[in-house]
Amino acid sequence: MNKFVTNEVIGHGHTTGSLELNQVGEKMFGSSWDGALGRNEVQKKYKGGVALVNMDRRQYGLPSGTHWICLVDNHFYDPLMPNGKHWDIEQEDDEQNCGQRCLAFAMLYVMDADSAKLV
């Protein structure tokens, strides 16, 4: 699923920004998309659907961003942290595709939440 999102949906495996993620998220998740948010926006904007949250604060007009995590149906996923049944880490430290990985996780979660929790 990650390869599909990286190659076909986003079109690259490099750093993604909130504008790019919002465009894709709105198409993929429709009214369930709560946005690509800065960590300081979660309390006001997250409604329990699908959101990607950057670990940096959103500072309007200034470039910012460090790492994306995913919130979907109040479930948390971070590709740099141990997750799932085998408690494994999916993203290598030198990779910059956390946005793509988070979108792929959210897609799987929406399709089959029980399977996604094993990832």
- The bridge status of strand 33-38 relative to strand 75-77 is unpaired
Q: Which of 83, 71, 74 is nearest to 36 (CA)?
A: 71
Contact 65, 54 (CB under 8 A): yes
pTM equals 0.91
Structural domain of 66: 2-116
pLDDT tens for each residue of 103-115: 999 999 999 999 9
pLDDT tens for each residue of 80-111: 999 988 999 999 999 999 999 999 999 999 99
pLDDT tens for each residue of 3-51: 888 888 899 899 999 999 999 999 999 999 999 999 999 999 999 999 9
Q: How many domains is the chain partitioned into structurally?
A: 1
